[in-house]
A and B are shown apart, each in its own frame.
Chain A
Amino acid sequence: MQDFIRRNHYLLRRLHSLSGIVPVGGFLLFHLYENAQAMRSPALYNESIRAINSLPMVWVLEVLFIFIPLYFHAIYGIYIAADAKYNVSNYGYGRNWAFFFQRLTGIITLFFVTYHIWHFRFQKLIGAFGTYVGGDSMSGLPSFDIVKAAFANNIVVALYLVGVVAAAYHLCNGVYTFLITWGITIGPKSQRISNVITNAAFVAVSALGIVAVFAFR
């Protein structure tokens, strides 16, 4: 295993970098956008849940484009985070803090997403939301009412708020470092511009996630 990791070091690192953006980052944005439907009306939210769940072989898509890349990124990311000797107390520069937060939010997001998958996806799998009776019904799916019931608990809401902000930070700062890692933004000026854009994106993505959480309150 160690030998395999050493031999394919470059490929694994680049896959780690890529998988965080495509498909995991892309899915996060899609997911938050779908959730935001709940702000407009419970019926629209339920409609989009039903539409996604009626995709043909949706579980294949979930495993191939979400589960595998997500956990590859997360588990390999733990190795990367564990390798660093954090030194923000001596070198308190902005990017050094970002380096620290990137790894911290990665770990938080891993725990949060695992909890979240158990909370909604696994419960759906074992039929905790009822059983499927027909194509038109919301039974078996995490409908607006089911999410609302879960979000009546303040602790659950707090967990989701922390998780959503951590995921948003990890994605947006990850885009900034992705652009460097692949040699797209090279000079200090282009990196400064991408820093401004990705910071603005962090605020926007966080807001989208937070607003969606409160749509269920």
Chain B
Amino acid sequence: MAEKFIELRVKRQVAPGEPAYWEEFKLPYRQNANIISCLMEIQRNPITADGKRTAPVAWESNCLEEVCGACTMVINGKARQSCSALVDNFTQPISLEPMKSFPVVRDLMVDRSKMFEALKRVRAWIPIDGTHDLGPGPRQSPDDQEWMYKLSECMTCGCCMEACPNYNEGTDFIGPAPISQARLFNAHPTGKMHAGERLDVLMQPGGLNECGNAQNCVKVCPKEIPLTTSIADLDRQVTVHALKKAFTK
């Protein structure tokens, strides 16, 4: 019986700004292998398919249970977490690329700080710090808690941005995830007090209007967060907000 292999094609890059190139690897088949275990195998034995010694492939990972988002990369053309990507579910050779929506640090590692800047821009938090105790906040109904909990599961992995055709330098779009977070904090009984500020930000270039309704975000979200519902809900909030502003000024 012929020996089975796992064939990988990895898009590599030594450093930011350096040219990218592809390298192929052929690993002995292991049952239930995932992409991370393959990358660990390459780390142990960094030999390419044609027998050349190479630098081990760099990647990021942390939780290994699809909760942290750190190991997100483009596998066979689609963005997803590599920890939950089982080799048996992919056609070989499996191609691994860094997400193109973020600057590459090295190989499959990208700098996702753009996303955190976007979260800061939409003020995805609840300001409660002050000089004195403000007491407990208003209560939330269990119904609200339920749908809002879903939004809070976002791990800022970047899949929704990578799949979005309008997330690029041309549009400066902040992406679906930060919009969904703005919805979460606008719905929170205390966060609601700053809803107008978040809506003002979402009306600027790079905000809600960059969405072209391709709706890839909701399809690729590993947490199945209703991102398009969040976008449309904020579309409504912004419509009302803008009309109110225009006629109150």
* A contacts, CB < 8 Å to B: 6, 9-10, 13-14, 80, 82-87, 89-91, 93, 95-96, 98-99, 102, 176-177, 180-188, 191
Name 15 interchain pairs, CB-CB below 8 A, sorted by A: A10-B207, A10-B242, A83-B166, A85-B168, A86-B165, A87-B165, A91-B219, A93-B215, A96-B215, A102-B212, A177-B212, A180-B231, A183-B239, A188-B229, A191-B228
Q: A85-B168, A102-B212, A186-B229 are in contact. List 13 more A-B contacts (CB 8 A).
A: A9-B203, A9-B204, A83-B210, A84-B166, A87-B163, A90-B163, A91-B78, A95-B214, A95-B216, A99-B215, A177-B212, A183-B239, A186-B235
Asked if B118 is an interface residue, CB under 8 A from chain A, the answer is: no
Chain B contacts with A in 217-249, Cβ cutoff 8 A: 219-220, 226, 228-229, 231-240, 242
Q: Are A181 and B168 closer than 8 Å at their CB atoms?
A: no
Which A residues are in CB contact (< 8 Å) with B77? Answer: 89-90
Which A residues are in CB contact (< 8 Å) with B170? Answer: 82-83
Number of B residues whose C-beta is below 8 Å from A? 36
Chain B contacts with A in 165-180, Cβ cutoff 8 A: 165-166, 168, 170-171
Q: Are B226 and A10 closer than 8 Å at their CB atoms?
A: no
- With A9-B205, A91-B163, A187-B229 as given contacts, are A182 and B212 in contact (CB-CB < 8 Å)? no
Q: Are B236 and A83 closer than 8 Å at their CB atoms?
A: no
Q: Are A83 and B233 closer than 8 Å at their CB atoms?
A: no
Asked if B209 is an interface residue, CB under 8 A from chain A, the answer is: yes
Q: Are B233 and A183 closer than 8 Å at their CB atoms?
A: yes
Bound-state Cα–Cα, A65 to B213, Å: 27
Bound-state Cα–Cα, A179 to B147, Å: 23
Which B residues are in CB contact (< 8 Å) with A184? Answer: 236
Which B residues are in CB contact (< 8 Å) with A9? Answer: 203-205, 209
Bound-state Cα–Cα, A191 to B226, Å: 13
A93's contact among B171, B209, B212, B219, by CB below 8 Å, is which?
B219
Q: Is the interface of A mostly helix, strand, loop or mixed?
A: helix
Chain A's closest residue to B206 (CB) is A9
Bound-state Cα–Cα, A180 to B242, Å: 16
Mask: chain B, 175-187; 1 = CB below 8 Å from A; 0 = not = 0000000000000
Within the complex, the shortest CB–CB distance from B144 to chain A, in Å, comes to 15
Q: Are B204 and A188 closer than 8 Å at their CB atoms?
A: no
Which A residues are in CB contact (< 8 Å) with B220? Answer: 91
Which A residues are in CB contact (< 8 Å) with B215? Answer: 93, 95-96, 99
Chain B's closest residue to A173 (CB) is B213
Which B residues are in CB contact (< 8 Å) with A95? Answer: 213-216
Chain A's closest residue to B236 (CB) is A183
Q: Are B78 and A90 closer than 8 Å at their CB atoms?
A: yes
Q: Are B209 and A85 closer than 8 Å at their CB atoms?
A: no
Which A residues are in CB contact (< 8 Å) with B235? Answer: 180-183, 186
B165's contact among A6, A13, A85, A182, by CB below 8 Å, is which?
A85
Which B residues are in CB contact (< 8 Å) with A90? Answer: 77-78, 163
Which A residues are in CB contact (< 8 Å) with B165? Answer: 84-87, 96, 99
Bound-state Cα–Cα, A53 to B196, Å: 49
Bound-state Cα–Cα, A86 to B166, Å: 8
A91's contact among B211, B216, B226, B237, by CB below 8 Å, is which?
B216
A186's contact among B166, B205, B232, by CB below 8 Å, is which?
B232
Which A residues are in CB contact (< 8 Å) with B209? Answer: 9-10, 13-14
- With A10-B209, A188-B229 as given contacts, are A182 and B78 in contact (CB-CB < 8 Å)? no
Bound-state Cα–Cα, A6 to B210, Å: 13
- Which residue, of B78, B205, B237, B242, has the highest number of chain A Cβ atoms within 10 A? B205
Which A residues are in CB contact (< 8 Å) with B168? Answer: 83-85
Within the complex, the shortest CB–CB distance from B162 to chain A, in Å, comes to 9
Which A residues are in CB contact (< 8 Å) with B203? Answer: 9-10
